[in-house]
């Protein structure tokens, strides 16, 4: 485990979903193989690439070149970057552009971007002519390890995030780890929280490996491919068991019940990126598990230390503007959590830890100890 890894050529992770199975192709510079892979999958296909302005600046040309070298025509559809495009207006823009580009039932839509572009494009493809296949080319770390895998697509409602959507699996995912070199360090770090999450929720050995190898991963060494492949395998295994989240898939929400409440409390603004909320949320979930006697306090400290080591926020007090603007009080956070997750007879569902590497779905969590716990954390 201590010898430096070499860049593997290409790693392929199979998402085993029967007749909807697909490959996730992971590696440095695999974007160049997009055209050949699409041509092999769908000879004679026409495509449209949906991307955002920032990603277009860095990666649209290379994507178009790869398709064109394989003789595949590609229209381009460019939306504004950011969550503001995951809206009815964004969906209308993309859908109308796909129709104008004459993308038909047997054609392919290509999502080139982070989770916003992936969710929006996947949903547009799901409803275009009652369903057109699509390819994910995730360009953020979060998208490569999480949002591009598993088939959840959708947009936001003014009443809440991700309230409109469809399960629509891609037919291919191309995760080029070199593309991450142009991502801002803060975005990269936020995506890393989801990588660490796979270790904390189900794989202690992977978590220990991350503790030892995170520097190489951040620097673009071969640890990056290994971590992305391991994360995709973990997600693919859970999705294959429970595609529509009737059971185990909920484990992927580790850190997200607290995290979403913090995102909502900061208005889904740049004060807190999603992955940063997940990092704090994971620490809170670990600390709360420790307060219930499910894990020793040293396990919660271990999770916190690793996330802090890579520069992620781990405390409520780390949220930008906490000292000046404060944050919602415990009651307001409780209300936000109740809105986010189904409350059954006044009880909350949380993903808690039985060990580092073993998360469980706790369905009947009483609100009172959660409120008390949050109060103590807000004061700390
Ligand atoms: N479908 C799912 O299962 C799932 C899972 C997790 C998150 N999500 C969704 O994903 C979204 C968040 O995804 P995200 O964090 O990737 O956000 P994002 O798509 O907004 O990307 C973050 C920023 O990075 C920029 N960017 C992306 N790739 C880049 C690159 N290679 N170089 C330079 N800049 C680049 C984008 O332009 C954007 O400004 C949320 O809407 C969330 O709800 C979906
Ligand atoms: Zn997440």
Residue nearest to atom 14 of ligand 1 (CA): 115
pLDDT of 96 higher than 80: yes
| Residue 186 Cα to ligand 1 middle (Å) | 12
162 — phi, psi (to 5°)?
55, 30
Residue 3, pLDDT > 70, answer no
Which atom of ligand 1 has the smallest separation from the CA of 54? 37
Instruction: State the ligand closest to the CA atom of 279.
Output: 2
pLDDT of residue 7: 72
Q: Which residues line ligand 1 (CB under 6 A)?
A: 52, 54-55, 58, 81-83, 86, 113-117, 119, 139-140, 142-143, 146-147, 150, 152, 162, 179-180, 182-183, 187, 274
In this predicted model, what pLDDT tens digit does every residue of 137-182 receive, in sequence order? 999 999 999 999 999 999 999 888 889 999 999 999 999 999 999 9
Residue 283 · residue 306 · CB < 8 Å? no
Q: Is there a contact between 194 and 145 (Cβ–Cβ < 8 Å)?
A: yes
pLDDT in tens, 229-283: 999 999 999 999 988 888 899 999 999 999 999 999 998 889 999 999 999 999 9
Rounded Cα distance, 196 and 305, in Å: 12
Q: Residue 364's CB: how many other CB atoms inside 10 A? A: 11
C-alpha–C-alpha distance, residues 175 and 113, integer Å? 11
Report the nearest atom of ligand 1 relative to the CA of 149. 3
| Residue nearest (by alpha carbon) to ligand 1 atom 13 | 115
Tens of pLDDT, residue by residue over 46-71, are: 999 999 999 999 999 999 999 999 99
Q: Encoding tokens for residue 214?
A: 């995170």
What value does the mean pLDDT take over residues 95-109? 97
Q: How far apart are CA 94 and CA 88, in angstroms?
A: 10
Contacts 24+ apart (CB under 8 A), 125-129: 125/98, 125/153, 125/168, 126/153, 126/166, 126/168, 127/95, 127/166, 128/95, 128/98, 128/99, 128/103, 129/104, 129/105
Q: pLDDT per residue over 333-365, tens digit each?
A: 999 988 766 677 788 899 999 999 999 999 989
Q: Please tell me the predicted confidence (pLDDT) of residue 4.
A: 64
Ligand 2 midpoint to CA 194 (Å)? 6
Q: 272, 319 in Cβ contact below 8 A?
A: yes
User: Mean pLDDT over all residues of the chain?
Assistant: 94
Q: Is the pLDDT of residue 125 over 60?
A: yes
Q: Which of 54, 56, 134, 268 to mutate to test the pocket of ligand 1 (most atoms within 8 A of CB)?
A: 54
pLDDT beyond 90 at 87: yes
For the segment 294-320, what is each residue's pLDDT rounded down to a tens digit? 999 999 999 999 999 999 999 999 998
What pLDDT sits at residue 139? 98
Q: How far apart are the first and last CA of the chain?
A: 38
Which residues are marked as active site? 130, 152, 194, 235, 245, 249, 253, 256, 260, 274
Pairwise CA distance, residues 76 & 48, whole Å? 6
Which residue has tokens 């991450």? 180
Q: Is the dihedral of CA 45, 49, 50, 55 positive or negative?
A: positive
Q: What would the two tokens of residue 376 be? A: 């103590």
pLDDT in tens, 5-24: 777 789 999 999 989 999 99
**Which ligand number lies closest to the CA of residue 258?**
2
pLDDT tens-digit map of 180-213: 999 999 999 999 999 999 999 999 999 999 999 9
Q: Contact 53/78 with Cβ under 8 angstroms?
A: yes
Instruction: For residue 102, give both structure tokens.
Output: 């004459």
Residue-level pLDDT at 325: 79
In this predicted structure, what is the pLDDT of residue 111?
A: 98
Nearest CA to 175 among 144, 140, 147, 148?
144
């Amino acid at each position: 485990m201590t010898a430096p890894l070499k860049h593997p050529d290409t790693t392929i992770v199979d998402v085993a979903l029967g007749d909807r199975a697909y490959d996730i192709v992971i590696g440095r510079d695999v974007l160049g193989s997009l055209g050949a892979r699409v041509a092999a999958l769908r000879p004679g296909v026409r495509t449209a690439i949906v991307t955002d302005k920032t990603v277009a600046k860095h990666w649209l040309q290379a994507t178009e070149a790869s398709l064109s070298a394989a003789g595949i025509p590609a229209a381009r559809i460019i939306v504004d970057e950011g969550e503001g495009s995951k809206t009815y207006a964004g969906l209308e823009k993309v859908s109308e552009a796909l129709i104008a580009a004459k993308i038909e039932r047997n054609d392919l839509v290509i999502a080139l971007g982070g989770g916003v572009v992936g969710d929006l494009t996947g949903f547009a493809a799901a409803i275009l002519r009652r369903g057109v296949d699509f390819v994910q080319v995730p360009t953020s770390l979060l998208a490569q390890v999480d949002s591009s895998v598993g088939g959840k697509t959708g947009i936001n409602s003014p009443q809440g995030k991700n309230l409109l959507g469809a399960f629509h699996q891609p037919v291919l995912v191309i995760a080029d780890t070199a593309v991450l070199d142009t991502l801002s360090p803060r975005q990269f770090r936020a995506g890393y929280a989801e990588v660490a999450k796979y270790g904390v929720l189900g794989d202690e050995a992977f978590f220990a490996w991350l503790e030892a190898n995170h520097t190489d991963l951040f620097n673009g060494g071969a640890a990056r491919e290994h971590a992305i492949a391991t994360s995709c395998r973990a997600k693919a295994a859970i999705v294959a068991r429970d595609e529509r989240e009737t059971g185990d898939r909920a484990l992927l929400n580790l850190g997200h019940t607290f995290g979403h409440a913090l995102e909502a409390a900061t208005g889904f603004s740049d004060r807190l990126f999603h992955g940063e909320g997940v990092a704090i949320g994971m620490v809170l979930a670990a600390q709360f598990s420790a307060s219930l006697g499910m894990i020793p306090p040293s396990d919660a400290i271990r999770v916190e230390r690793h996330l802090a080591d890579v520069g992620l926020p781990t405390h409520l007090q780390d949220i930008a503007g906490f000292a000046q603007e404060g944050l919602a009080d415990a009651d307001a956070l409780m209300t936000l959590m109740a809105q986010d997750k189904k409350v059954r007879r006044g009880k909350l569902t949380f993903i808690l830890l039985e060990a580092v590497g073993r998360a469980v779905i706790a369905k009947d969590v009483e609100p009172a100890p959660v409120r008390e716990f949050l109060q103590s954390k807000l004061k700390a």
